[in-house]
Structure 1
């Protein structure tokens, strides 16, 4: 360890002297050595910290640092990555800069366009996922439910941002909609037309009951049966030991009521066109629930008086950024439980600041929107924070709104006069997004201070892929941002970007004017399923027991 510190110190001194000589002599480095030199997607401090972390964690002493290929490099030439790594999954592998067709393939590898075709309020939704971790720690759920009362549909759209592993988000994909739909089903059986607050309480119960099963009931089962095999016990506890932010949107097509429930820092935004001006408007439906959020900090400190370190540097106990999440049992289990698990080889030592858990809750904040006739061409955007690092709420609405207009076929000049075309096209006299009139939008700043607005591009048929591409650099050709960021393999990629998950839901009956994307009827991984009314008669305990069968990997 001492030798490593000495080598690191010598390396730093060497780099420092080299840098000084370069500045003194005004040396101009060749273009191929300027690795990320002109990118502004991260601040200088973030770049230095990321490079240092990548060097100390992954590089070998004898490793060389080849550069990214220049834009003119032939696609047939294999290019090495700028870091040689000792990570087992990357060792002795060659990684080249992705070309345009390879970028498109990677962006669309886990993306789909779903046409609902039920004529009940949502006619299309687009999804996309891009991993920085391997396996990706994000997940999602898309379920259309035949409502137990009335003639409408219940539509659920879930977005889950995992951390410390994929185990919690994977379980949320399978279990959150059944838990919430059971609570809603029980409510509607008793009261066919419940008030909004009662629906909120039912959704919240679904969230907290599932989290109790993940965190508290799982460890109780382990303690109840001391004869459990250690591997089975560990598998039972994995969703509790990792964590995930969870967001679930519930849309009742009969009442045209949209509810968005959030536990964490995923984000939901409603975009709609003003019927008078023709401009796109942005309405934030969530506020990031983090230790740096003043309201969340006030709540947490009130729940834990006399603990000045309950939030440090904007993080729970100085470590966890989200103040609400599923799993994350180390912030919820008692000290006694954590000591017992640690002594049994099933957990880590308790946090030294642990006094009065739980510090983190899965109880959601719920926002309700009544979709009125005045909100034309409305769409819902749901994303994990991998996109909001570089895209604001206004950015996302501008991207999808303008994309939507570009997809619609233009009228023929021979059949429509210029003044009629001007009247029909509000963008001929108005900006794409109305600003600064943004409703309830405390998050309308990019994730990193000082980040310039990226130049947008419109080349994708899938609206969710379109968002992801622009979050990675969009039309910024200098340095080939999108190619560079997507070319990085895991775990190195996590130094520069996060997992990305995006869902865009288009409200309305659908007129067939927006085309493109890979259409699917919905199959597998909880996507696009239509659940009949009988499915509401489900026991959440049985659901959880089935889901907690020891898994050897993702299905």
Structure 2
């Protein structure tokens, strides 16, 4: 068996991993077996693999040794870890009342990013979740730049021409919770690419305000720009910039939504997902999974890839449920190791990262596309919220479980607010009944005000009987090499819709 050839450190790591694995409930065990042991067996048996998406570990160990005994973080310390990156934003107009977001790292540094922005020259909110692999570079750059590309593509032609002539140009979007900062030299390069994109938009035929077209154009164009910015110096006989090359060679999947009044548009590339929480007339929660993953479990996606390559590559283009035996998502931005011609890879990528830059059986590129699937949903009063999340969440719970958790959170979080009497001159007996009802209802008050944190807490520590602190503390305190075997980075955004606003929208 393969583990008999391990050295002692690897064997100890495996034993520690198995010991932690045995603590988990059956549902989580099945998820780990399916996704991490099946797909990532090379973590132990092929440590030279070129695919780093699932092999890059992260979270700093929180457990400490005291008198030779391992001490796990306390409930307060666990909560501090979980709430470190949470964010909330409220709105006074439009169909979105507010949103909650949070992230929990497993990789170090975290490879997930997210973006939220309000369009300034058109109406609508743009929100996205980006799951990086092979490092955080691609996901970070996309999260900073994509909102501007989308906002520009949404501009009416007259407004676009005026905007191009501005000097300096005003911002197209107001961003929230913007924590990623790009280096100055890259800002100059990205600004030049964006100006070229604006010029191209001005020469394209415009059919008016078309959100699906804008989303697709922006995603495809920014992916093309990542390639151009990395390869252009080579074509001009200049020194290749290792920063732009690292962005192009790493990758990211993306789930981006644009909400304008009752109109919800979603563009999806890869295996992040958007799930709608719907409340029926019978007060039952329904989870409507809007997106569909681009991975080996999507047979239509497998057929698409097989049809794009010769029949003699059928056994090599998808191996071990991965593209060319390496990449789990079958669509992504960046990842130009699977898109460039072999001559470009030889001249640009191999000098930097060696022969492994060219995947095995690389005969008829491109093998990968950034073209998104597009979805539309008209919001109704029954639509209460939308969950955008990276696959780190969906690996740990089903869409229905997530929707029910957010639905329960909606009901319970009202108790974070002080009690307000429903009317003046209320009788003491009525106040007593109100207080008794509130006391009983306080049992459902969630531990976290932020719904994204609430989901992450239950994803990591949830059991059939609620959250198990010892499990939660243990999984949050695993050493970096072990942590990644149990979960991915998790990024969650929960958008709440204004039912009264949607009720007043014309049919």
With structure 2 as the length reference, what TM-score do the two structures score? 0.72
Tell me the SS of whatever aligns to 2:127. strand
Shift of 1:266: 0.3
CA distance in 2, matches of 1:179, 1:483: 41
Alignment of 1:335-484 (within 5 A): 335-342=342-349, 344-345=351-352, 348-373=356-381, 375=382, 378-409=384-415, 415=430, 458-474=446-462, 480-484=470-474
Deviations 1:152-174 (A, max 9, x none): x3101110000010000100111
C-alpha change, 1:221 and 1:497, in structure 2 (3 Å) is same
Match of 1:315 among 310, 313, 322: 322
Asked whether the 8 Å contact 2:264–2:378 carries over to 1, the reply is yes
**What's the counterpart of residue 154 of structure 2?**
184
Cα distance, 1:42 vs structure 2: 2.0
Q: Match for 1:223 among 234, 238, 262?
A: 234
The 5 Å alignment of 1:48-59 reads: 53=43
Partner of 2:504: none
Q: Which residue of 2 aligns with 1:146?
A: 120
Give me the whole-angstrom Cα distance separating, in 1, the residues matched to 2:10 and 2:250: 36
Contact 2:461–2:468 (CA<8 Å) still a contact in 1? no
Tell me how far 1:292 sits from its aligned partner: 2.8
Give secondary structure in 2 for the equivalent of 1:480. Answer: helix
**How big is each residue's C-alpha offset from its partner over 1:413-461, in whole Å with a ceiling of 9 and x where there is no partner?**
954999xx99xxxxx9xxxxxxxxxxxxxxxxxxxxxxxxxxx993211
The partner residue of 2:104 within 130, 137, 141 is: 130
- The answer (yes or no) to whether the contact 1:123–1:510 under 8 Å persists in 2 is no
Mapped partners of 2:136, 2:4: distance in 1:
33
The answer to whether the Cα contact below 8 Å between 2:90 and 2:97 also exists between their aligned partners in 1 is yes
- Per the alignment, in what secondary structure is the counterpart of residue 469 of structure 1? helix
Match of 2:260 among 252, 257, 260: 252
Following the alignment from structure 2 to structure 1, what is the Cα–Cα distance between the partners of residues 114 and 477?
Answer: 24
TM-score (norm 1): 0.66
SS of the equivalent of 1:281 reads: strand
In the alignment, is the contact (CA less than 8 A) between 1:257 and 1:371 conserved in 2? yes
Per-residue deviation at 1:182? 1.0
Distance change in 2, residues 1:201/1:465 (3 Å): same
SS in 2 for 1:268: strand
Note if contact 2:350-2:358 (Cα within 8 Å) is conserved in structure 1.
no
| 1:272 CA displacement | 2.0
SS of 1:408's equivalent?
helix
Matched residue SS, 1:42: helix
Asked if the contact 1:292/1:315 (under 8 Å) is kept, the reply is: no
Q: CA deviation at 1:492?
A: 3.3
CA distance in structure 2 between the aligned counterparts of 1:312 and 1:80, rounded to whole angstroms? 45
TM-superposed deviation, 1:199: 2.7
Output one character per residue of 1:184-230: Cα deviation in whole Å (capped at 9) or x when no partner: 114695999847xx431221010000000112x123312134342x5
Query: Could you say which residue in structure 1 is the equivalent of 2:23?
Result: 38
Post-superposition offset of 1:285: 1.1
The answer on 1:273 being equivalent to 2:279 is: yes
CA displacement at 1:35 relative to structure 2: 4.5
In the alignment, structure 1 residue 214 sits paired with structure 2 residue 230: no
Name the structure 1 match of 2:267. 261
Deviation at 1:51, TM superposition (A): 10
Runs of at least 5 residues in structure 1 that lack an aligned partner in the other structure? 20-32, 58-74, 82-94, 423-427, 429-455, 512-555
For residues 157 and 269 of structure 1, the distance between their equivalents in structure 2, rounded to whole angstroms, comes to 14
The change in CA–CA distance for 1:76 and 1:305 in structure 2 (over 3 A counts) is: closer
CA distance in 2, matches of 1:112, 1:222: 39
Q: Partner residue of 1:160?
A: 130
Structure 1 residue 488, shift from structure 2 partner: 1.8
Unaligned stretches of 5+ in structure 2? 48-62, 161-204, 423-427, 502-507
**Larger proportion of helix:** 2
Deviation at 1:313, TM superposition (A): 2.6
Residue in structure 1 matched with residue 496 of structure 2 by the alignment: 506
Task: Please tell me whether the aligned partners of residues 122 and 509 of structure 1 are also in contact (alpha carbons under 8 angstroms).
Answer: no
Paired residues in the alignment total 411
DSSP-derived class of the 1:141 partner: strand
* TM-aligned CA deviation for residue 494 of structure 1: 1.1
Q: CA deviation at 1:372?
A: 2.2
Cα 1:487/1:9, change in 2 over 3 Å? closer
